[in-house]
Structure 1
Amino acid sequence: MDEAAVQLLCPECAKHWQSAPRDLPASDAVFHCPNCHASYRLTEFMRTDRDLTMLRQFE
């Protein structure tokens, strides 16, 4: 079985990466970009609505 992954995109530095939803905090938690350390709610890093929906399914 393939593991789910969500696409993330930093609103400041435009770094793009993916992560398993189980490895991320709650969608309303403050998250820090691993590249530039910008801080936003995790929902701001979701690349698409599908990624946000998938993240919320795992909460």
Structure 2
Amino acid sequence: MDETSVQLLCPECTKDWQQAPTDLPAPADLFHCPNCHASRRTAEFTRTDRDLQTLKTLG
């Protein structure tokens, strides 16, 4: 079985990575970029609308 992942992109340093939605805070909660430590809502790090929907559904 494939694990679902969410594609993330930091709006400040443009680091991109994937992470399991269950390992992320809720879309409206504060999240910190592991590269530059920028702090924003988790939803602002999702790369696409589909990633945001996956986070909302499975997170």
Give the percent of matched residue pairs that are identical in Structure 1 and Structure 2: 66
CA RMSD of aligned residues (A): 0.6
Q: Which residue of 1 aligns with 2:47?
A: 47
Q: Which residue of 2 aligns with 1:35?
A: 35
TM-score normalised by length of structure 1: 0.96
**1:16-38 deviations in whole A, cap 9, x for unaligned?**
00000001011110000000000
Task: Please state how far the C-alpha of 1:11 moved relative to its aligned partner.
Answer: 0.2
**Structure 2: how far apart are the matches of 1:32 and 1:43?**
12
* Residue segments in structure 1 that go unaligned for 5+ positions in a row: none
TM-score normalised by length of structure 2: 0.96
4+ long deviations beyond 3 Å? none
Q: Which amino acid letter does the alignment assign opposite residue 25 of structure 1?
A: P
* Residue segments in structure 2 that go unaligned for 5+ positions in a row: none
